[in-house]
């Protein structure tokens, strides 16, 4: 699934993101045993849990994708596009998901960039994330 | 609640690690913090 695909890409780019001064965390809603499994498998950044959706609420991304968004061409395309990475063993399992999002905060927890998905697996690319951080870095 | 905007401050919420211990978002910030929001890990 696209969320684990992005997680795998963040893992692959962890060092280059760190060189930009960026740390990474992932925040899932539940499934502590799955997060622990991924952590034990060497994911180098914290995999945290937000079972009550406090962070989702705070960010305002607690709404679920609508049926229209779920059935969109983009949702279908994103689902299919990750199959190749699954076959490479870079994505472990499939699952359904709520509205995806990625936010970038600065050291005062001020949001400097966000991407709120409007389709299944609608995450930004690693390039978009790195570009967003690079644009924020002061010379 | 609406989606917060660029420039807004996110509350330093307490979140759980898989082992049950707690941490805050702010504990993991260097210059920038990338947060991927997902529902399940599996």
Q: State how far the Cα of A132 lies from the Cα of A114, in Å rounded to an integer.
A: 9
B7: distance to nearest CA of chain A, Å?
Answer: 5
Where residue A98 sits, what CATH number does that domain have? Answer: 3.40.30
Q: Give A-chain residues touching B35 at CB under 8 angstroms.
A: 24-27, 55, 102-105
| Residues 106-135 in A contacting B (C-alpha not used; CB under 8 Å) | 106-114, 116, 123, 129, 133
For residue A11, the enclosing domain spans 2-134
Of B2, B5, B32, the CB nearest to A106: B32
DSSP B1-42: -PPP-TTPBPP--EEE-TTS-EEEGGGG-SSEEEEEE-S---
Q: Which of A46, A54, A108 sits opposite B17 (nearest CB)?
A: A46
* pLDDT, averaged across chain A: 82
In a domain, A71, yes or no: yes
**Chain A to chain B Cβ contacts (< 8 Å):** 196
Report, as an integer, the average pLDDT of A51-67: 83
Query: What domain count does chain A have?
Result: 1
Q: What is the pLDDT of residues A18-34, one digit of tens each?
A: 999 999 999 988 778 88
Name the residue among B13, B16, B31 with its Cβ closest to that of A58: B13
Does A77 fall in a domain? yes
Judge: B17–A49 Cβ closer than 8 Å, yes or no.
yes
Asked if residue A63 has pLDDT above 70, the reply is yes
Residue A93: pLDDT band with limits 50, 70, 90: very low
Q: Edge-to-edge, what's the strand order for the sheet holding B22-24?
A: A111-116, A101-106, B32-37, A22-28, A47-49, B14-16, B22-24
Chain B within 8 Å of A19 (Cβ-Cβ)? no
ipTM score of the complex? 0.90
- Top residue of A11, A38, A59 to mutate, by most chain B CBs within 10 Å, is A59
Tell me whether residue A99 is in a domain.
yes
Rounded to a whole number, what is the distance in Å from the CA of A66 to chain B's nearest CA?
Answer: 16
Would the pTM of this model clear 0.80, i.e. be above it?
Answer: yes
CB-count burial class (<10 Å; 0-12, 13-18, 19+) for A21: middle
């Amino acid at each position: 699934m696209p969320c684990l695909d992005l997680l795998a890409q963040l893992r692959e780019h962890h060092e280059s993101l760190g060189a930009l001064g960026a740390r990474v965390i992932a925040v899932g809603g539940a499934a502590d045993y799955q997060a622990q499994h991924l952590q034990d498998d060497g994911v180098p950044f914290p995999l945290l849990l937000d079972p009550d959706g406090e962070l989702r609420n705070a960010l305002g991304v607690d709404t679920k994708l609508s049926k229209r968004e779920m059935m969109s061409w983009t949702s279908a395309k994103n689902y299919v596009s990750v199959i190749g990475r699954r076959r490479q063993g870079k994505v472990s399992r499939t699952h359904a998901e709520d509205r995806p999002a990625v936010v970038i905060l600065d050291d005062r927890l001020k949001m400097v960039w966000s991407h709120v998905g409007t389709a299944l697996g609608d995450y930004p690319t690693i390039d978009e994330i790195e570009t967003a951080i690079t644009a924020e870095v002061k010379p | 609640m609406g989606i917060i905007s660029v420039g807004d401050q996110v509350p330093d919420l307490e979140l759980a690690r898989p082992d049950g211990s707690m941490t805050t978002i702010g504990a993991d910030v260097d210059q920038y913090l990338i947060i991927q929001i997902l529902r399940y890990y599996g």
